[in-house]
Amino acid sequence: MKKVLVLHGPNLNLLGTREPEIYGRTTLADINQRLAERAQKAGIAIDFLQSNHEGVLVDAIQQAAGNGCNFIILNAAAFTHYSIAIRDAIAAVTVPVIEVHLSNIYQREEFRHHSVISPVVQGQICGFGMDSYMAALGIVIRRFEEAAK
């Protein structure tokens, strides 16, 4: 079965209450539920992991292929801007990764404008709130459909 791993980085467990003027009122559970519903309709298994710990995310990336994952959707949050460990884990695996962000990182503080993981991911989607995740899943579904032809 086709399988997607969705990884949420630090502080995303606080969505819905954390800086709602930037991130909105949507919770992490809301995002996961919408993704799960869309994945189910497409016949795709989907797993979710949120961690505030860099090493946990690195381990999940490294273990993705062995766990049968075909794609990773990753919101590395603050780790996007400085985690060489996450960047190197992505570069070391064969599972394609799509980088997502709820906010437009290029409209925010200068230090958020640079992603150290962007050079090793398939692409980046940012600035659309929950729809950033939904767009990434839509791309994954389309890739699965194209591969089945």
Partner residues linked to 73 by β-bridges: 6, 98
| CA distance linking residue 121 with residue 86, whole number of Å | 11
Residue with tokens 């930037």: 22
- Choose the catalytic residue: 53, 81, 82, 101: 101
Give yes or no: 53 in active site.
no
Q: What is the DSSP string of 39-52?
A: HHHTT-EEEEEE-S
Alpha-carbon separation of residue 63 from 48, 68, 69, 113 (angstroms): 14, 9, 9, 29
Q: Which two tokens stand for residue 92?
A: 């070391």
Q: Catalytic residue at 101?
A: yes
Q: Which of these is catalytic: 8, 23, 106, 133?
A: 23
Active site residues: 23, 101
